[in-house]
Every structure is written in C-alpha cells, then in structure tokens.
DNA sequence: GTTGCGATTGCCT
DNA sequence: GGCAATCGCAACT
C-alpha cells in the first residue's frame, strides 16, 4: 500500500476569484447538492472528492429542520456555509453543509484522496471503495464529530474547493420514511465510491 | 417520567 | 436478509 502523504491543511488562496462560500451556499439545497459533486473536501488536510450528496429543505418532512429549531439542529438555522453535524442512531456522526435557512446538504460519500493511510487507520479497514462510502463512514474517516457542529466551511480545519464538472446521477434519498419519493440524492455517475449504486 | 423512532453501520445467519 | 448498538427529541402518560 502506497504511503499517501497528508497535505497540510489551509486551502484559502484562490477563493478570491470564485464566488465566496457563503454566497454559493445561500440558495436552494436541491440545486447546491448536485453542484457540490466533484468538489474537494478535507478536514485537517485529510479527505477527497465529494461523490454523493442529499438535499434537505426547510419544509421537507424528512429534514431535521421540519419541526423548527432544537438544540441539535441549531446550526441548520445559522448562517450558510457552516457545518451541521449530528449524531445518527446514537452512534455515528453525519456531516451537512448548511444552505439557505433551515436547509442543508448531507455529504454521503467521498472518493478518498489525501491522508488515505490516516483514514484507513481510523476506519480500521484497507478497502478503498468503502473508506468513505456512507455519511457515518466519511465522518469517521475524516475525524468529524460534535466539535465541528456549527464550524465555518471556509476556515480550518475544513478545506473546501471546487473541482471539475462531473456527470450527475439522481435517485430518491436513502433511509428515510417521510417524503421518500423526492429525487434529492445525487452522485457521480458510475462511481464505485458511493454508498449504494444509482439505477 | 416513559416510549418509540430514526438522514447508519458492521456483524451475524 | 436480520439485527443490535445507543442517544436526541417528540409525543405521549
């Protein structure tokens, strides 16, 4: 197994020439979720290419924000371009990017790229395709936890920058029972790194 | 105060 | 495919 060097964090730099993250995230989560595919996400320099996302709107019965603010979902009602991190099933962590008020994009899978050794150690597996193929897996691999809830995506430890355009696959969201038909799950078409195949 | 249910995962049969 | 782990929160009593 090749030793992949972890790149030192801090991404800034070219952000001046492209739209600011707050502007990019200030819109409809359903439009932003597919647009995030292909972007590079890192936490303390460890991460990869965003391969799968889901959108959750303010008025969406499946969204944590549907019943209004609570201590847990407070970040969803804060400013855009911040993280919303919640505990799933009392065990795992899930990472969202906050969009317009009460809406967010769930990051469901990454193509592992930087700090692969560190991710494998955290996940206790060497299977590349399954390192970040799920919202809980991805948070474990990147070391995301409650301490990242509400943190701004434009600053360390987060690194977030656009990538090349990708072909987008669409499907209903996974694991929900309310509003299950909404086609608001997006992935890089044909990617082996997504949590479940698109079809 | 108690109960039931998840935006999940890994281990088991 | 079934199921346990484990906790925040809503909807009860």
pLDDT score of A5? 30
Q: How far apart are CA A196 and CA A109, in angstroms?
A: 10
Query: What residues contact residue A81 under an 8 Å CB cut-off, 6+ apart?
Result: A20, A21, A22, A24, A25, A26, A97, A98, A152, A153, A154
Provide the CA A152 to C1' B1 distance, Å, integer. Answer: 38
pLDDT at residue A15, as a whole number: 45
Give yes or no for a contact between A16 and A70, defined as CB atoms under 8 angstroms apart. no
From first CA to last CA, the distance across chain A in angstroms is 32
Among A63, A60, A68, A103, CA closest to A82:
A103
Which nucleotide has the least CA–C1' distance to A88?
A: B8
Residue A194 has a pLDDT of 98
Which pLDDT score is estimated for A1? 31
Nucleotide nearest to A62 (CA to C1'): B7
Strand C nucleotides with an atom less than 7 Å from a protein beta carbon: 5-11
What is the DSSP secondary structure assignment for residue A96, as one 8-state letter?
Answer: E
Alpha carbon distance A184, A170 (integer Å): 7
Q: What is the pLDDT along chain A (199 residues), one digit of tens a residue?
A: 333 332 222 333 344 456 799 999 999 999 999 999 999 999 999 999 999 999 999 999 999 999 999 999 999 999 999 999 999 999 999 999 999 999 999 999 999 999 999 999 999 999 999 999 999 999 999 999 999 999 999 999 999 999 999 999 999 999 999 999 999 999 999 999 999 999 8
**pTM for this model (two decimals):** 0.91
- Protein footprint of strand C, defined by Cβ closer than 7 Å to any strand atom: A 67-68, 70-73, 87, 89-91
What span, in angstroms and rounded, lies between the C-alpha atoms of A191 and A199?
Answer: 12
CA distance A79 to A102: 10
A13-CA/C4-C1' distance, Å: 47
- Tokens representing residue A6 in the block: 């972890």
pLDDT at position A140, please? Answer: 98
Residue A114 class from Cβ within 10 Å (0-12 exposed, 13-18 middle, 19+ buried)?
middle
């Amino acid at each position: 197994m090749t030793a992949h060097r972890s790149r030192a964090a801090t991404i800034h730099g070219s952000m001046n020439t492209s739209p600011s993250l707050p502007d990019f995230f200030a819109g409809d989560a359903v439009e932003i979720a597919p647009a995030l595919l292909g972007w590079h996400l890192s936490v303390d320099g460890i991460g990869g290419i965003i391969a799968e996302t889901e959108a959750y709107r303010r008025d969406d019965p499946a969204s944590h924000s549907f019943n209004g603010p609570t201590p847990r979902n407070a970040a969803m009602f804060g400013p855009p371009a911040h993280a919303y991190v919640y505990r799933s099933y009392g065990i795992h962590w899930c990472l969202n990017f906050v969009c317009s008020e009460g809406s967010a994009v769930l990051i469901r899978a990454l193509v592992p790229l930087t700090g692969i050794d560190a991710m494998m150690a955290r996940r206790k597996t060497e299977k590349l395709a399954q390192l970040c193929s799920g919202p809980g897996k991805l948070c474990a691999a990147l070391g995301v936890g409650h301490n990242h809830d509400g943190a701004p995506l434009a600053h360390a430890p987060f690194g977030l920058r656009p990538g090349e355009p990708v072909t987008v696959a669409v499907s209903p969201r996974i694991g929900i029972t309310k509003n299950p038909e909404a086609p608001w799950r997006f992935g890089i078409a044909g990617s082996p790194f997504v949590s479940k195949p698109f079809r």
